[in-house]
């Protein structure tokens, strides 16, 4: 294994995808997004191979049997997410660093695989109430799914201290700057804030 890995994890709705997009926009970081595989349905505006590798449950299970994943998990019943080994290797082959946007358990699994080769950042919402408001504002899911995500988020936030660092996303601009500095330091690069 060569190259480094930056792992951004958070409960759903905490802002990790916005932070990941910001980091990808900094050329000096030489970060490439690791596209995860999943079995959930594609949402409006998503593109297979860009947002996720959308797979059937049967195909995902075949890849598990083939040992094709760095890590994987069943997040909800028959709703699998995972990181393909081929995805990571192709990024490192380009002499770039891998950037992961993964859920909390996926982040911990990746950190355990890459150890000191990875920086694991937990994006913490200011509160469960704010997180609920953010999910409702998205308007992408029904109330029962939001309730499930809030329950899961409450559990996930208990794992925050297992990450290398916690960034509280109260004000997005501050969270972006803090994460940028952490990644810059990890990659041993100067950064213009």
What domains, with CATH codes, occur in the chain?
A: 5-186 (3.40.50.300)
Gap between the Cα atoms of 116 and 101, Å rounded: 18
Closest alpha carbon to 111 in 53, 139, 71, 151? 71
More confident residue, 190 or 58: 58
More confident residue, 137 or 123: 123
Give me the long-range contacts of 42-48 (CB less than 8 A, separation at least 24): 43/140
Whether residue 34 is predicted with pLDDT greater than 90 in this model: the reply is yes
- pLDDT (tens digit per residue) in 151-168: 888 899 999 999 999 999
**3-class DSSP state of 12:** coil
Confidence of residue 190 (pLDDT cuts 50, 70, 90): low
- pLDDT (tens digit per residue) in 62-76: 999 999 999 999 988
Percent of the chain with pLDDT over 70: 97
Whether residue 60 is predicted with pLDDT greater than 60 in this model: the reply is yes
Whether residue 2 is predicted with pLDDT greater than 90 in this model: the reply is no
Structure-block tokens of residue 82: 């995972």
The whole-number pLDDT of residue 193 equals 47
User: What is the bridge-based pairing of β-strands 37-38 and 118-124?
Assistant: unpaired
Average pLDDT over residues 175-183: 97
For all residues of the chain together, what is the average pLDDT? Answer: 92
The whole-number pLDDT of residue 192 equals 52
Structure-block tokens of residue 69: 């994943």
DSSP state of 27: G
Helix axes 128-138, 143-156, angle to 10 degrees: 150
Gap between the Cα atoms of 146 and 59, Å rounded: 28
């Amino acid at each position: 294994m060569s190259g480094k890995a930056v792992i951004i994890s958070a409960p759903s709705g905490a802002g990790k995808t916005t932070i990941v997009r910001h980091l990808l926009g900094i050329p000096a970081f030489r970060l490439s997004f690791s596209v995860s595989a999943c079995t959930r349905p594609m949402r409006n505006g998503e593109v297979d191979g860009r947002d996720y590798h959308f797979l059937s449950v049967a195909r995902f299970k075949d890849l598990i049997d083939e040992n094709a994943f760095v890590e994987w998990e069943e997040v909800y019943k028959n709703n699998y997410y995972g990181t393909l080994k081929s995805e990571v290797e192709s990024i490192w082959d380009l002499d770039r660093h891998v950037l992961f946007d993964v859920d909390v358990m996926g982040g911990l699994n990746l950190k355990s695989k890459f150890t000191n080769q990875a920086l694991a950042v937990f994006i913490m919402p200011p509160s469960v109430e704010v997180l609920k408001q953010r999910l409702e504002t998205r308007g992408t899911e029904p109330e029962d799914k939001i309730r499930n995500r809030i329950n899961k988020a409450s559990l996930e936030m208990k794992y925050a201290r297992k990450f290398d660092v916690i960034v509280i996303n109260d004000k997005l601009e501050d969270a972006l700057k803090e994460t940028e500095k952490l990644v810059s330091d990890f990659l041993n690069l100067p950064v213009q804030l």
